[in-house]
């Protein structure tokens, strides 16, 4: 019975961590206009400040992997509590410098939590021999949608950036406190270690690059989907806003379905099929003559490509020694995050040189490349 309780506690920690993480980022996207207004910055200044999120995350991820290995199960609630505290700060900023500084802290906290929750997921999978990361990433996507809708309701009622981010930051801290008391799966919480990875094993680099390709396609559509519908297909703002929402919803549903498939079918085959579907959906959405067909393509793209990252994170953690699991996940996460960051920028540069349709269609080639290279992920 005790083992069952620990296994259940491990799943609670993983799903609770991903849920809180998704709720914040859903709220953040919907609250960003209010943050910009409160800080008094224009679009260009906001763009520069937003780069600090990525910079902070890239700076913290490798360190977070080492801390996960040294602190064991305590790493997740500690990093999540720090992230929750940082989450409230951008709503208080009143200048470009202030906003940039708070976003650097937010990014550092986000990067640390990203590593900690994925390492926690792989620890749970190894200890219980039951898949969890696809379900966890589905939970994240679902909570992104929920956080966005809840923030929209709060803003419609007159709430400002300070209140919205303060509430969601408090929620994240409350979840962190709950995770502190939940038992962790495996023995990582009992025997922390000082071992770490001081070099980059080839397989982890390969997994990170493959995940970067998946994130490239994901964030290309999340960032440019609404713009494509409104500028290329003359969709209304309301219809255009469906693009990122439907992509996230399709990702949540697909990852939930992927959770049922992992363990029954070969993971590499699942990933290859998902990447191929992502390429097909991307091509349909990029070349569609009407908004309705483009939305269908976006749903297919989201459902296909989103199944790849959880599998890659799972492979990285499950095939690493317990002593260096956090470091292994941090390597993959750091490399993968580069794809997440450069995807929208590359699409923008290609669109400037050609057209947005052509740039988004090129993302289909990235998805096909992932499908072709999927076999390299096999340990």
The domain segmentation of the chain, as residue ranges, is 2-181, 202-377
Are 50 and 322 in contact, with CB atoms under 8 Å apart?
A: no
pLDDT for residue 36: 84
Closest listed residue to residue 13, CA positions, set 78, 106, 66? 78
- Chain Cα centroid distance, residue 307: 12
The top-level CATH class assigned to 2-181 is mainly alpha
Are 192 and 76 in contact, with CB atoms under 8 Å apart?
A: no
pLDDT for residue 9: 52
Closest listed residue to residue 172, CA positions, set 78, 84, 79, 77? 84
Are 2-181 and 202-377 in the same CATH fold?
yes
* CA neighbours closer than 13 Å in the CB half-sphere of residue 127: 24
pLDDT for residue 244: 78
pLDDT for residue 371: 96
Distances (CA, A) of 195 to 125, 184, 191, 198, 316: 21, 20, 12, 9, 17
b/e code 209-230 from CB counts within 10 Å (16+ = b): bbbbbbbbbbbbbbbbbbbbbb
Three state DSSP letters for 267-280: HHHHHHHHHHHHHH
The single residue listed with the structure tokens 């309705």 is 292
CATH of domain 202-377: 1.20.1250.20
- Rounded to the nearest 10 degrees, what angle do helices 133-156 and 308-318 cross at? 130
pLDDT for residue 320: 65
Residue 132, classed as helix, strand or coil, is: coil
Per-residue pLDDT tens digits of the chain, which is 379 residues long:
444 444 565 788 989 999 999 999 888 877 877 888 899 988 678 777 877 888 898 888 888 888 887 888 888 999 999 999 999 999 999 998 999 999 999 999 998 998 888 888 888 877 777 878 778 888 888 888 888 888 888 888 888 889 999 999 999 999 999 998 887 766 444 444 444 455 667 888 899 999 999 999 998 888 788 778 888 999 886 687 678 788 888 988 888 887 777 667 888 999 999 999 999 999 999 999 999 999 999 999 999 999 999 889 888 877 666 667 677 778 888 888 888 778 877 888 888 888 989 999 999 999 999 999 999 988 6
The single residue listed with the structure tokens 């090129």 is 362
Angle 237-227-295 (CA atoms, 0-180°, nearest 5)? 75
The count of other CB atoms within 10 Å of the CB of residue 327 is 26
b/e code 165-201 from CB counts within 10 Å (16+ = b): bbbbbebbbebbeebeebebbbebbeebbebbbeeeb
**Can you give the C-alpha Rg of the chain in angstroms?**
20
């Amino acid at each position: 019975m005790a083992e069952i309780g620990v296994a259940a506690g491990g799943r609670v920690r993983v799903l609770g961590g991903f849920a809180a993480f998704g709720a914040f980022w859903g709220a953040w996207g919907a609250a960003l206009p209010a943050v910009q207004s409160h800080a008094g910055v224009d679009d260009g200044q906001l763009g520069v400040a937003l780069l600090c999120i990525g910079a902070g995350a890239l700076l913290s991820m490798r360190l977070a992997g080492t801390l996960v290995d040294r602190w064991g199960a305590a790493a997740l609630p500690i990093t999540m509590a720090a992230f929750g505290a940082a989450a409230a700060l951008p709503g208080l900023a009143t200048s470009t410098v202030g906003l940039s500084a708070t976003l650097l802290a937010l990014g550092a906290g986000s990067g640390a939590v990203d590593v900690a929750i994925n390492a926690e997921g792989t620890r749970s999978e190894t200890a219980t021999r039951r898949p969890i990361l696809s379900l966890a990433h589905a939970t994240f996507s679902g909570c992104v949608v929920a956080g966005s809708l809840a923030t929209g309701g709060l803003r419609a009622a007159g709430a400002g950036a300070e209140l919205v981010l303060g509430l969601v930051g408090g929620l994240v801290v409350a979840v962190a406190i709950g995770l502190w008391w939940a038992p962790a799966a495996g023995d990582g919480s009992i025997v922390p270690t000082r071992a770490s990875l001081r070099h980059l094993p080839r397989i982890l680099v390969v997994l990170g690059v493959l995940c970067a390709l998946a994130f490239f396609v994901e964030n290309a559509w999340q960032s440019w989907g609404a713009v494509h519908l409104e500028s290329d297909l003359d969709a209304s703002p309301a219809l255009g806003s469906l693009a990122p929402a439907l992509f996230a919803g399709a990702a949540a549903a697909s990852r939930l379905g992927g959770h049922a498939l992992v363990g029954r079918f070969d993971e590499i085959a699942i990933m290859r099929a998902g990447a191929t579907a992502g390429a097909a959906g991307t091509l349909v959405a990029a070349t569609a003559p009407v908004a309705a067909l483009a939305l269908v393509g976006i749903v297919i793209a989201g459902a296909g490509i989103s199944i790849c990252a959880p599998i890659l994170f799972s492979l990285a953690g499950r095939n690493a020694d317990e002593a260096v699991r956090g470091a292994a996940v941090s390597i993959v996460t750091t490399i993968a995050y580069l794809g997440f960051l450069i995807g929208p920028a590359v699409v923008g540069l290609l669109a400037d040189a050609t057209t947005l349709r052509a740039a988004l269609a090129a993302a289909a080639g990235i998805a096909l490349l992932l499908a072709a290279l999927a076999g390299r992920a096999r340990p």
